[in-house]
Structure 1
Amino acid sequence: MPHVSATMLVIWRRVSLCSIPAVRTRTCVRWQTHTVSVVGKRHASSKKYSDTVLLPKTTFPIRPKNPAAEEVEIQKVCGFSELYSWQRQQDRQKDFILHDGPPYANGDPHVGHTLNKILKDMINRYKLLRGYRVDYRPGWDCHGLPIELKALSAGRDNFRHLQPLQIRNKAKQFAEKAIRSQVDAFRRWGVMADWDNGCYFTFDKQYEAKQLEVFYEMYEKGYIYQDFKPVFYSPSSRTALAEAELEYKEDHISHAVYTKFPLATLSPGLKDVVGGRQNISVLTWTTLPWTIPANEAMCYTPSHDYSLCQCKTTGQLYILASECVESTAQVLSTHLDVLNTFPGITLEGSTCQHPTIHGKVSPLLPAHHVSMAKGTGLVHTAPAHGMEDYSVALAFQLPVFTIVDEDGKYTDQAGPDLQGKNIFSDGNETVVEQLRSAGNLVHEQDYRHSYPYDWRTKKPVFIRASLQWFVNTNSIKDRAVDLLDGVRMYPEGTAASSLKAWVSTRNYWCISRQRVWGVPIPVFYHRQSGKPLLTKESVDHVVSLVRSQGTDCWWTLPMEELLPADVIRKAGHTDVSEFEKGADILDIWFDSGVSWAAVLEDSGGVADMYLEGKDQHGGWFQSSLLTSVAVKDSTPYRSVFVHGFAMAEDGTKMSKSLGNVVDPNLVVSGGKNRDKHPAYGADVLRWWVAGSDVHSHVYIGTNILNTARDSVLKVRRILRFLLGNLSGFRPEDAVLYHQLRPVDQYMLHVLYQYAQKVTDAYENYHFTKVQYLTLGLVTKELSSFYLNITKDRLYCDDQTSLGRRGCQTVQFHILDVLTKTLAPVLPHLAEEIYLHHTCLGEVQSVFKSGWFETDPGWHRPDLEPLWRVAEDVRDAFNRQIESANPRLYDVAIFASSTVYDMLNVLQSEETSCTSDLCEMMMSSFVSLHPEDHPENSPISGTKQTLSKVSQHECVMSGPDGSKELATFTLHVSPASHQKCERCRKYVAESPTTPCDRCLAVMADSWAT
């Protein structure tokens, strides 16, 4: 290259001679000289080639230094707290109502809250981007035993001495504190809502008033009634429980017994069977010996056979089901000789003696609930302490006496030996001793089995008959199950079948609780008769008081104000002193179950979606459905989304004792020891949710969080690269589609397909698929393909060249689609992109810009066969070269006609260093020839020595779906040119002179 002075720069431009016949393009060039003035203080000799390379420029950091602090700042700058109110003010044609199931206000936020709230927020943010006006009011279940027990836990020994208002005040303060803690966490996780003015609470006056209105409407329609019947009762909580408030301990150990009930009178048929034998007993087995003092009958199955047996060890005579003889003998470690076998109906009319109460006789009665799977096929029946037992009592008019009080202790009706003793400890042992003393204890054993526990106190419950209020779900459930067919369930199939199973097997719902922290059942009882006074006038009056004063009025106001004289007169009475107010409160599932009436009034009591954990099949999903069907004969939801539970990453349940509890706030903000507890930020937590199989168990732990963080950083690096490449680009610089190069058009086709698939995934709430598709686009289509092969064009072409602008146009669309795809899951990252996006002009929130738009014209399936072939050729080339740097090589492709015709679209000239094909191969030069070209034949000399020749096959797809094999041959040789110090490709004629492309670019950019 000629000498360059301080004031003049000589630029050499290569001029193609490809139009001259018989002249090779790659090697035959001539040079023209252009003289350019150098302006400015800096001398040309001090300027570097790298100064003219258009490297990515952006202020977007490659990784956040302090994710927690930076996300908080992004929330402030980008108006996270105002976004919900802003979108509610927009005039939009579509509304999306996601009704928030109220979490308990009974403690600090945990990963269950994280999973639930982030799932809801991802859906809401997606709907907002799609043009919906989102209706989402976060709520809290503020009443009930969970809160009451925690509020009183510090003084548990003395809480029974507190007055109701003292308990209610403590519980309310505890709930309010828990709500504040949870709100702070939900805000920090980026959950979009009006946290200051748009939440609902079940202890709000208006909510409580609406709840009582629903209660009376159901009562008036006959769905609510009062009855004396067995219910699950928790002595540790001193209240009745619904089935949804139970959990079953699988390894509970009961002191089980085999007991004999001596026959007192024999039916005529049974007399024929025994044939004059004496001292015969029916044999029964129970895991609840404490219920034997309440026995009123012995049940059998008429359709099964029974046997008269003799114990080989003792000689005693027993009657038991024929199917159970062998298994019973094994338990008793003896042999039972079968003396006679007879149908169960033969037992009808017989009676037996009570095993512990002298002179009491129990009838033998037929029943369908008797099982042959365990025991003896004869079931001892205590109507006050069993659901099926109670049904038998109703059918045969047996007495129902409760001999156990609210503390689980025997009353005086159980007799002096049992009075005051606990049924789970010394009371149970005393009954066993009574059986032994009476000679009726045949065998005793410790029996491990599943047993119901109070899910709050983790203590065992028992069944106890008492006067309670019930919803007659038996008259609602069939209609409710039918209506569920019109509800979209996620996941499909299992969610619907599970909810239907819960509803269809529920015959009644106990809604009264013996506590004070909750909404009182607005009933008054006549002191003499015990009959309830519950009229429209009495309830309307109480509702008006609650609406103005809250439910504390039930305890603060005198009876004269709760039950005015005019209300009493309309009920046919004259004196308020004849009545006393009820002491029961409504079940909290009733509290939350009527939220559709209290919160969704503007939408007719219907939400587009309910989204909660799978435990709500027996809870909120069900209670909402039953109350809604009872009142308005419709479901309260159009769709139901069910998620699983958070588990430790090793598959175990989280517990403090195991030390595997994950604190979401610690995950987001980090701990004092950042090595042990790094600050991941809220977006990593959200990415974890999106990547989890949310309908099953959701696992979380350090390894899983680290993987989530690494994935977010991987996506972040691609976004940063895109932002940097778009420096100086404006939307008006975009290149028209028909002017784009084939590789650019193909990338838009890939982007179009991705956009369609990811939108469909969002529409069906398949967040794992959203993540999978996005990571695939980032790692495969962008990082390993398009962004990699187009670097040379972006960095080294002229800034305004059509090729570079075309690449920027594509990357502009990629960034738009990718940012908005990520926004519902990673809102902090998406907003940060917008803060650094120089192409947008005035900065605005990504959530105010709408969903991405992709041109249907980008959809070009016809390009796919071309790029499959091109990829096959590139892969073969990469396998053949020895270096990881393909620029060190030139490659000549000799292709069969079908392959040649395709590749010719990517490279029209015979040899090129800038074609789409060369860009794809990333080599220095690519030559494309038909397979019968002379140079594809074996030759001798230096060229053959330097080249590596290999033959390959690829599969060609026809338009009709047919497949055929096509061939191509690669001649790979070391680069024949010198390295260009500007573009780093081996395309220069001299090691001291840039290539002609770079010289042409520098003709404009070198001057300063």
Structure 2
Amino acid sequence: MLRLLCRSSAGSQTLVRWARRSQRGGGLLLHGARSCTSSRRCHGTGSGEVNGQPAENGSGNALYRDSVLLPKTEFPMKLTGQKLLDRELQIQQECGFADLYSWQRERKAKNKFCLHDGPPYANGDPHVGHALNKILKDIRNRFEMLRGRQVHYIPGWDCHGLPIELKALGDLGTSGLSPLQIRQKAREFAEGAIARQKAAFQRWGVMADWDQCYYSFDGTYEAAQLKVFQEMHSKGLIYQDYKPVFWSPSSGTALAEAELEYNPEHVSRAIYATFPLVTLPPKIALQEGMESVSVLVWTTQPWTIPANQAVCYMPNAQYSVVKRADNSEKFLVATERTASIAALLGTDLQTVGTFTGSLLEGGICKHPTIPDKQVPLLPANHVTMVKGTGLVHTAPAHGMEDYSVASQFKLPVECMVDEDGTFNELAGPELQKLSVMTEGNDKVISMLKQCNALLKEEQCVHSYPYDWRTKQPVVIRPSKQWFINTESLKDKAKEALQKVRVLPESARSSLLTMLDRRTYWCISRQRSWGVPIPVFYHKESGEALINKYTVSHIAQLFKEKGSDCWWELPIETLLPPEVLKKVPGAASDYVRGEDVLDIWFDSGASWAAVLEAESDSRADVYVEGKDQIGGWFQSSLLTSVAVRNKAPYKSLVVHGFAVSEKGEKMSKSVGNVVDPDVVINGGKPAYGADVLRWWVAESNVFSEVQIGAVYLLATFISPHQGVFKVTDAYSEFDAGRVIRVLQAFITRELSSFYFSIIKDRLYCDAEDSLGRRSCQTVLEEILDGVTRSIAPILPHMAEEVYLHAPGHDSTGWIKSSSVWRRPGLEEAVEGACAIRDSFLSSIPGKNAARYDLTVAIEPGLLFELMESLQEEPTSTTSQLAELMMAARVNLATKMPRDLDPEALLNHGTFLINLEGGVIREESAYSIAVTPTSAARCPRCRRYTANSADCLCPRCQSVVSQAH
């Protein structure tokens, strides 16, 4: 075991170099299932170094060289290039990485741990975002497995949706292709992406049964999804309606909130437009100066003006009629917006009258661009005073809040925009066929100018929703779609979320905010590649036929044949017999629906397909990036609460995105994309999988995670405290803290301290001596503890350690024993270290081995503790002498009278704290440092010999025993 620790001849550099190599691509790691059955032993060549000093070529040193127990090992100090890559693959093969997941599932375990894998999208090659997510999950899974828990982790893929469909079709488009032809091409594309991603995940050492994954295009998965759909529909949570949705003209489909990206740099042509009051509100009509008043509104979407059906005000706000100083025009505006509007117009505004908004009830305005059309003033709570005029132009067809007002006051919801984003015939001949976001917008502004209704135009930079796939702006337009009533689920979802642990806790508010923003969820999509919504429509009436019998029947067909059967089978087969008997007319009177389900409903139902077999049917944790706050985290919560009244997860971990080392979003056009395959196999140098894993572990995953060449090149304390620190860090998904603890331990406790003081005992004591054997035991425990600590992060390295150290049971977590906690021992060592600091500070830059040290402590607890480390008054081989690294240590209750007058004196105190503070005693000590008169031993190189040509007593005894 000593030889394994000492990859160089000096044990002081062993684990430091080990940790360093892991950062630089050294290529060693562990999967932790069981010790590999390797019979290889470590036989190598030791270097000629003793006690940190190079061996000399003199005859005396050569005479005793073979008697010094220098370390030997086959363990490679450094592997680079192809040798490193070959070694990692060899370790994966030899140590059964592919079988590890199945092995741990079959073993008996009292406790289970379930991490439910959020499905990555099957639309491209693996990237560093995948690496960050999958490795972070794998570190936690390996940690739980080492703790003795049975891990449940089924990798999955999200396989449907528009991006896959578009990439699969390429330049072909959908023209001339049947739904089944489109689906076949999309499936082939998704399967290719899955194969590439899966191979990468395996190469990264991710532990899973890769032959038993879940896929959202699998018939069994689709059937489970339809079961969730059916239960929600039966509860009235899923319904069909004609209402505004986010519509993507570039994709030709409705979108959910989670499919939007908000562009904060979007530029709109914002306008201030006038709506003349043709009927004054009765409660203010009698006030003076109220004639010829126009309501002033502000909007960033002028193209919606033709669809206006009302102007809304806030009932509790104050409003004023103001008069321009330059031309006597009168406007109705919110009182608190008056100063801003005056500044905008560059003129003074004189207040004619002020009143509460509720007094505006009954007012009627003239529509500015449609002759003879009048629109009412209506109260609404969504009106704000942050921008604009405090009066809101309301187009129910093109706004969510506007639609709510229309529902309340029975206003018409007329859609003037087609699916391609152009005005239709309802907008009139001047606007028909014009794109609403470009030339249509321009034309509406021109029309407002012609009728003198445009008061002011300005550019407005603001956040605007874009299609996350095409990166083009979306519009809000009404469409007949299928919806989930999230308003009725919201309170239950919030209540369930309060029982969920969220890391970091700051993400909880974002989760709640996203829930509040969603009053309904549009789940229908106008595409072919997805799970069909199981609905039939009567050819003449258009009435939807959908119930628990039809959905259950179709779910069973999907389970047996896959969802392609929706297009392959005749209506007579798709409709169950019991329904055919009851529906009026024949099956031929119906047509199947053409919409598919939103992919967020696809993935949000994964708990039903993957977790239902588990006893708790909830995952211990979901781990995904922050973009899933409004995506998979939310869709999973809503569907589970709707069906089971509980969240599908006990904990949520929200990590950041992978960005460049400058903190920039990765982009192929910028050239800052880091390919994980290049990191492992093709970089200069090739780093291997463990360095990629080290990057993930070392990063602060709760913020943006940087990666680049600099980042790629870039611990345990006491037996008990270290175990707790490392265990807690892994439990908190803080592998970076694990690394910091281990590095501190290796650097301070081992390299700078323990390895330095034990070298003499390890190399020069008798091979079977108690001191040397006890030292080997400690090193064995250290190596085992550090190996287990780092194994979840660096499985290849840990496995290689155990390949060189057979006999370890590598299935468990870090072992600690109460035997290690000998009463008073820790305080004795701490007191000795305080004295050591005083000693070393007396001889700065000098070799401690050349000095004798006298320690004087008055009788008391500190003296008794030091006596436990050195029973004799003077010694060259005691534990106290070893700790001091001095030639000799004298321990006394007072300084001797014959002290060398040239001795260096120093004094100090040490506070002893025993039994949790029950025993506290501050003790003083004095030290005297003098150059030793002893000669250097030709074998151990310590200054403990009587003369230069003879061995010290210890070495003389060892050599004589050997002969």
Relative to the length of structure 2, the TM-score reads 0.90
Cα deviation for residue 963 of structure 1 reads: 6.3
Q: What SS does the corresponding residue of 1:679 show, helix, strand or coil?
A: coil
| Residue 725 of structure 2 corresponds to residue 700 of structure 1 | no
Aligned residues of 1:565 and 1:575 also touching (Cα < 8 A): no
Aligned residues of 2:549 and 2:576 also touching (Cα < 8 A): no
| Distance in structure 1 (CA, Å) of the matches to 2:804 and 2:290 | 100
Residue type of the partner of 1:250? P
**Which residue is 2:56 aligned to?**
none
Q: What SS does the corresponding residue of 2:481 show, helix, strand or coil?
A: strand
**Which residue is 2:614 aligned to?**
603
**Which residue is 1:786 aligned to?**
754
Residue type of the partner of 1:416? P
| Residue 227 of structure 2 corresponds to residue 220 of structure 1 | no
| Distance in structure 1 (CA, Å) of the matches to 2:384 and 2:176 | 45
Aligned residues of 1:478 and 1:504 also touching (Cα < 8 A): no
**Counterparts in 2 of 1:327-338, with a 5 A limit?**
327-338=340-351
Cα deviation for residue 298 of structure 1 reads: 0.8
**Counterparts in 2 of 1:750-769, with a 5 A limit?**
750-769=718-737
| Distance in structure 2 (CA, Å) of the matches to 1:330 and 1:210 | 60
Aligned residues of 2:416 and 2:424 also touching (Cα < 8 A): yes
**Which residue is 2:599 aligned to?**
588
Cα deviation for residue 46 of structure 1 reads: 10
Residue type of the partner of 1:949? L
Residue type of the partner of 2:834? D
Per-residue CA deviations over 1:496-531 (Å, capped at 9, x if unaligned) read: 443333334432211111111100101011122221
| Distance in structure 1 (CA, Å) of the matches to 2:439 and 2:176 | 26
| Distance in structure 2 (CA, Å) of the matches to 1:354 and 1:814 | 82
| Residue 270 of structure 2 corresponds to residue 256 of structure 1 | yes
Residues 334 and 808 (structure 1), Cα distance of their counterparts in 2 relative to 1, 3 Å cut? same
| Residue 302 of structure 2 corresponds to residue 346 of structure 1 | no
Aligned residues of 2:311 and 2:392 also touching (Cα < 8 A): yes
**Which residue is 1:155 aligned to?**
171
Residue type of the partner of 2:945? A
| Residue 146 of structure 2 corresponds to residue 129 of structure 1 | yes
Aligned residues of 2:489 and 2:641 also touching (Cα < 8 A): yes
Q: Greater shift after overlay, 789-798 or 54-63?
A: 54-63
Q: What SS does the corresponding residue of 1:147 show, helix, strand or coil?
A: helix
| Distance in structure 1 (CA, Å) of the matches to 2:821 and 2:660 | 44
Residues 935 and 895 (structure 1), Cα distance of their counterparts in 2 relative to 1, 3 Å cut? farther
Cα deviation for residue 97 of structure 1 reads: 1.8
Corresponding pairs, count: 900
**Which residue is 1:679 aligned to?**
686
Which residue among 297, 300, 307 is the counterpart of 1:294?
A: 307
Residue type of the partner of 1:827? P
| Distance in structure 2 (CA, Å) of the matches to 1:548 and 1:902 | 76
**Which residue is 2:559 aligned to?**
547
Q: What SS does the corresponding residue of 1:906 show, helix, strand or coil?
A: coil
Aligned residues of 1:231 and 1:464 also touching (Cα < 8 A): yes
Relative to the length of structure 1, the TM-score reads 0.86
Aligned residues of 1:912 and 1:926 also touching (Cα < 8 A): yes
**Which residue is 1:229 aligned to?**
243
Cα deviation for residue 68 of structure 1 reads: 2.4
Q: What SS does the corresponding residue of 1:790 show, helix, strand or coil?
A: helix
| Distance in structure 2 (CA, Å) of the matches to 1:266 and 1:214 | 53
**Which residue is 1:32 aligned to?**
none
| Distance in structure 2 (CA, Å) of the matches to 1:349 and 1:508 | 31
**Which residue is 2:42 aligned to?**
none
**Which residue is 2:74 aligned to?**
59
| Distance in structure 2 (CA, Å) of the matches to 1:905 and 1:828 | 42
Aligned residues of 2:123 and 2:163 also touching (Cα < 8 A): yes
Where structure 2 has 5 or more consecutive residues not aligned to the other structure, the ranges are 1-58
Q: CA RMSD in A?
A: 2.1
Per-residue CA deviations over 1:191-228 (Å, capped at 9, x if unaligned) read: 00111x21010000111112112211110111111111
Residue type of the partner of 1:988? A
Cα deviation for residue 455 of structure 1 reads: 1.4
Residue type of the partner of 1:176? E
**Which residue is 1:384 aligned to?**
397
> Where has structure 1 moved over 4 Å in runs of 4 or more?
44-47, 961-965
**Which residue is 1:193 aligned to?**
208
| Residue 770 of structure 2 corresponds to residue 802 of structure 1 | yes
Q: Greater shift after overlay, 208-217 or 644-653?
A: 644-653
| Residue 881 of structure 2 corresponds to residue 918 of structure 1 | yes
Q: What SS does the corresponding residue of 1:357 show, helix, strand or coil?
A: coil
| Distance in structure 2 (CA, Å) of the matches to 1:228 and 1:935 | 105
Residues 928 and 839 (structure 1), Cα distance of their counterparts in 2 relative to 1, 3 Å cut? farther
Aligned residues of 2:289 and 2:352 also touching (Cα < 8 A): no
**Which residue is 2:36 aligned to?**
none
Residue type of the partner of 1:690? A
**Which residue is 2:848 aligned to?**
886
Which residue among 87, 94, 97 is the counterpart of 1:80?
A: 97
**Which residue is 1:453 aligned to?**
466
| Residue 56 of structure 2 corresponds to residue 49 of structure 1 | no
Aligned residues of 1:897 and 1:931 also touching (Cα < 8 A): no
Q: What SS does the corresponding residue of 2:189 show, helix, strand or coil?
A: helix
Aligned residues of 1:523 and 1:581 also touching (Cα < 8 A): yes
Aligned residues of 2:80 and 2:686 also touching (Cα < 8 A): no
Aligned residues of 2:92 and 2:98 also touching (Cα < 8 A): yes
Residue type of the partner of 1:357? I
Q: What SS does the corresponding residue of 1:268 show, helix, strand or coil?
A: coil
| Residue 927 of structure 2 corresponds to residue 970 of structure 1 | yes
| Residue 738 of structure 2 corresponds to residue 770 of structure 1 | yes
Which residue among 553, 562, 572 is the counterpart of 1:560?
A: 572
| Distance in structure 2 (CA, Å) of the matches to 1:786 and 1:45 | 29
Q: Greater shift after overlay, 443-452 or 962-971?
A: 962-971
Which residue among 415, 421, 429 is the counterpart of 2:428?
A: 415
Cα deviation for residue 274 of structure 1 reads: 4.6
| Distance in structure 2 (CA, Å) of the matches to 1:981 and 1:619 | 72
Q: What SS does the corresponding residue of 1:329 show, helix, strand or coil?
A: helix
**Which residue is 2:826 aligned to?**
864
Cα deviation for residue 770 of structure 1 reads: 1.8
| Distance in structure 2 (CA, Å) of the matches to 1:862 and 1:662 | 53
| Distance in structure 1 (CA, Å) of the matches to 2:287 and 2:189 | 68
Higher relative contact order (CA 8 A, sep 6+): 2
Per-residue CA deviations over 1:582-625 (Å, capped at 9, x if unaligned) read: 11110111101111111123115322222212222211121112
Q: What SS does the corresponding residue of 1:476 show, helix, strand or coil?
A: helix
Aligned residues of 2:321 and 2:351 also touching (Cα < 8 A): yes
| Distance in structure 2 (CA, Å) of the matches to 1:486 and 1:309 | 53
Name the % identity: 52
**Which residue is 2:41 aligned to?**
none
Aligned residues of 1:565 and 1:574 also touching (Cα < 8 A): no
**Which residue is 1:105 aligned to?**
122
Cα deviation for residue 477 of structure 1 reads: 2.1
Per-residue CA deviations over 1:214-249 (Å, capped at 9, x if unaligned) read: 211110111111111111111111111111111211
Which residue among 408, 414, 437 is the counterpart of 1:424?
A: 437
| Distance in structure 2 (CA, Å) of the matches to 1:290 and 1:783 | 72
**Which residue is 1:895 aligned to?**
857
Residue type of the partner of 1:950? N
Cα deviation for residue 495 of structure 1 reads: 3.8
| Distance in structure 2 (CA, Å) of the matches to 1:1001 and 1:950 | 36
Aligned residues of 2:304 and 2:398 also touching (Cα < 8 A): yes
**Which residue is 1:724 aligned to?**
none
Per-residue CA deviations over 1:108-156 (Å, capped at 9, x if unaligned) read: 111111111111111111121122221211000000122222223x316
| Distance in structure 1 (CA, Å) of the matches to 2:78 and 2:367 | 78
Which residue among 916, 927, 950 is the counterpart of 2:906?
A: 950
Q: What SS does the corresponding residue of 1:460 show, helix, strand or coil?
A: coil
Where structure 1 has 5 or more consecutive residues not aligned to the other structure, the ranges are 1-43, 708-714, 716-746, 937-942
Cα deviation for residue 948 of structure 1 reads: 2.3
Residues 123 and 72 (structure 1), Cα distance of their counterparts in 2 relative to 1, 3 Å cut? same
Cα deviation for residue 891 of structure 1 reads: 1.7
Cα deviation for residue 824 of structure 1 reads: 1.0
Residue type of the partner of 1:977? A
Per-residue CA deviations over 1:912-969 (Å, capped at 9, x if unaligned) read: 1111111011111111222243245xxxxxx424x32333344444653686654333
Residue type of the partner of 1:951? H
| Residue 837 of structure 2 corresponds to residue 875 of structure 1 | yes
Which residue among 182, 185, 189 is the counterpart of 1:167?
A: 182
- Which has more radius of gyration? 1
